[in-house]
């Protein structure tokens, strides 16, 4: 092996699994030097006490920390007596991430059972096995540091249910891609909390991104039809936004994402709309704003649009049922035909 040129060894090491790379680090100084940047380029960890201690120990070694380009956190439900310890370890691990010179991608995935009913082994129904207070505070060090993130290119925060931090504007200097997903909730008493998340906390997160550099934005909402997830987008603008992906976004009167999309007509090239709906209430026999109108506005104003992906279940309208107090899907063949025709016209314009 020492007779092979380092360039060839490096190429071979790139195809090796992590366990092999860790062994190669102990073979010789040469293989250690070549394998270390590959082995620690991406770190994936779960939020348990041993995992957080191991991460802290790794990042304390300069010869390893300088090669870390991506960190992916996955939250785990802790043992009851470890909650406070774990919250402290998570905060300590996150507090120093802005000092990593090569860090480009950061992901934090909250646990999917947060805010939902969960039946334990003994049949008792419990809620919030992982304290909301801990969830609020665990990720706070990302935003409360006095030094902004200057090297981070991609930030993903998934399964948000409560997020009361107030991040500084443009805290993530140079950020290019931002992906946020709001957790699914199936309880009506959580509606006010989720409304606050969408109306206040998500816009604050958007404002923490560097408006001059962001080129890709993804907003995923996992809520069912009973909880209309309208995100207030009127306060944010990204002059170089080229790619936008929305899932379960509701188009309502002056609250939907249509004005936000049209406001970025000068830069948008790629738009994806997944399971998006137009809302109208019980007093209306039909929606006043149709998808045909939306596609028509896109056709006239999104002059740079080159790719549009629309997915749904065939019922792209939601109607408020006052008797049952739920949003229900609404379908009308006449509207469906008109919408499909307008979408085809938009696709034809982009094809030219």
- pLDDT tens profile 21-41: 999 899 888 899 999 999 999
Distance CA 5, CA 68 (A): 25
Rounded percentage of the chain residues whose pLDDT exceeds 90? 21
Mean pLDDT rounded to a whole number for the chain = 77
Q: Which of these, 184, 269, 189, 187, lies nearest to 220 by C-alpha position?
A: 184
DSSP secondary-structure letter at 127?
E
Contact between 55 and 45 under an 8 Å Cβ cutoff? The reply is yes
Return the number of other C-beta atoms located less than 10 Å from residue 200's C-beta. Answer: 14
Q: Is the pLDDT of residue 268 over 90?
A: yes
Q: Is the pLDDT of residue 217 over 50?
A: yes
148 versus 188: which is more confidently predicted? 148
- Looking at residue 161, what is its pLDDT? 67
Domain ranges of the chain: 1-39, 41-241, 261-352
Q: Is the pLDDT of residue 96 over 60?
A: yes
Bridge partner list, 310 = 273
Distance CA 342, CA 338 (A): 6
Distance CA 201, CA 203 (A): 6
Distance CA 36, CA 59 (A): 13
Q: Is the pLDDT of residue 121 over 80?
A: no
Who contacts 61 (Cβ-Cβ below 8 Å, separation ≥6)?
Answer: none
| Span 183-196, pLDDT tens digits | 765 544 455 556 66
- Looking at residue 182, what is its pLDDT? 78
172 versus 249: which is more confidently predicted? 172
Distance CA 176, CA 147 (A): 18
Q: Using alpha carbons, list the distances in angstroms from residue 58 to 7, 31, 157, 273.
A: 26, 19, 23, 40
Contact between 40 and 67 under an 8 Å Cβ cutoff? The reply is yes
| Span 285-333, pLDDT tens digits | 777 788 888 899 999 999 899 999 988 755 677 776 656 555 667 777 7
Distance CA 41, CA 25 (A): 14
């Amino acid at each position: 092996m020492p007779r092979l040129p380092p360039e060839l060894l490096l190429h071979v090491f790139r195809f090796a699994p992590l366990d092999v790379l860790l062994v190669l680090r102990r073979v010789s100084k040469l293989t250690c030097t070549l394998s270390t940047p590959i082995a620690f380029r991406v770190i994936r960890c779960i939020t348990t006490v041993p995992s957080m201690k191991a991460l802290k120990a790794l990042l304390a070694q300069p010869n390893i920390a300088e090669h870390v380009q991506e960190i992916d956190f996955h939250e785990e439900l802790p043992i009851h007596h470890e909650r406070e310890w774990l919250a402290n370890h998570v905060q300590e691990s996150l507090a120093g991430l802005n000092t990593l010179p090569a860090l480009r991608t950061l992901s934090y995935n909250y646990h999917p059972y947060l805010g939902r009913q969960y039946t334990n082994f003994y049949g008792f129904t419990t809620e919030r096995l992982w304290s909301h207070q801990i969830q609020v505070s665990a990720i706070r060090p990302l935003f409360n540091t006095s030094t902004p993130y200057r090297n981070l290119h991609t930030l993903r925060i998934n399964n948000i249910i409560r997020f009361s931090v107030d991040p500084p504007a443009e805290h993530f200097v140079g950020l290019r891609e931002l992906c946020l997903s709001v957790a699914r909730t199936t309880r009506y008493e959580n509606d006010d909390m989720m409304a606050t998340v969408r109306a206040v906390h998500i816009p604050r997160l958007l404002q923490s991104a560097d408006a001059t550099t962001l080129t890709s934005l993804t907003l995923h909402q996992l809520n069912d039809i009973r909880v209309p997830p309208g995100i207030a987008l009127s306060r944010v603008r990204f002059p170089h936004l080229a790619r936008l992906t929305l899932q379960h976004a509701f188009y309502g009167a002056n609250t939907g994402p249509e004005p936000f999309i049209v406001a970025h007509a000068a830069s948008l090239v790629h738009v994806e709309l997944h399971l998006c709906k137009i809302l109208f209430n019980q007093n209306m026999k039909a929606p006043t704003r149709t998808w045909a109108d939306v596609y028509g506005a896109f056709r006239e104003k999104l002059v740079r649009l080159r790719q549009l992906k629309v997915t749904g279940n065939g019922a792209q309208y939601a109607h408020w049922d006052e008797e049952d107090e739920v949003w229900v899907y609404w379908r009308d063949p006449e509207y469906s035909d008109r919408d499909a025709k307008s979408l085809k016209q938009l696709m034809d314009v982009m094809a030219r």
